[in-house]
Amino acid sequence: MRELDAAEIDELLTNNGIGILAFDGGVGPYPIPVAFGYDSDEQQFVVQLEGAEDCYKKRCLDLNPNVGFTMYEQVESGTVWRSVVLRGRLEEISYTDAEAAFATLARNTQGAPNPVRWGSGGDGMTPYELQIDHWSGHEFVIE
């Protein structure tokens, strides 16, 4: 196993768009798959969450805005695996405050099971930025 440097982590986040976001639900972790966008120039990580004010995700964030995030990719016919783990606070933002990051979300998640609905208003989607406190990345090579 090899630790990835900051440039490699930045590249993975820029070129991928699906991962797992884990909330603290007060009774244990609450992980969900999400599409994400990342603007490497600003090191800005964004997601959209769907749900009403009283949904479980919103209640988790009200209780504790600290979250964890994991994404991975498999390359070279499954012999090389790379992963990134982020920790930080999830904060509501506006779409205009993160336009470049949401553009990468749209580009990288075109084949995602849940199509990206960006800025269409009234569709129940809320944009959030992950204020990253810590990031790490690793590469595993299967020989």
Q: What is the 3-state secondary structure (H, E, C) of 59-109?
A: HHHHHCCEEEEEEEEEECCCCEEEEEEEEEEEEECCCHHHHHHHHHHHHHC
Query: What is the number of domains present in the chain?
Result: 1
Strands 2-3 and 18-24: unpaired
Closest alpha carbon to 102 in 132, 126, 68? 126
Q: What residue numbers bound the domain in which 98 lies?
A: 2-141
Percent above pLDDT 90 for the chain? 47
Q: Which residues pair with 107 in a beta bridge?
A: none
DSSP classification of residue 36: E
Q: Is 128 exposed, middle or buried (0-12, 13-18, 19+ CB in 10 A)?
A: buried
Q: What is the pLDDT of residue 117?
A: 45
**Torsion angles phi and psi, residue 53, rounded to 5:** -55, -30
What does R_g of the chain's alpha carbons equal in angstroms? Answer: 15
Q: Measured between alpha carbons, how far is residue 128 from residues 4, 79, 80, 97, 118 in Å?
A: 26, 34, 31, 10, 12
CATH number of the CATH domain containing 74: 2.30.110.10
pLDDT bucket at 121, cuts 50 / 70 / 90: very low
Is residue 85 very low, low, confident or very high in pLDDT (cuts 50, 70, 90)?
A: very high
Could you report the per-residue pLDDT of 11-54, keeping only the tens digit for each?
999 999 899 999 998 888 999 999 899 999 889 999 988 766 66
In the predicted model, is pLDDT for residue 126 greater than 70?
Answer: yes
Kind plus residue range of the DSSP H or E element containing 15: helix 6-15
The two structure tokens encoding residue 108: 């990288």
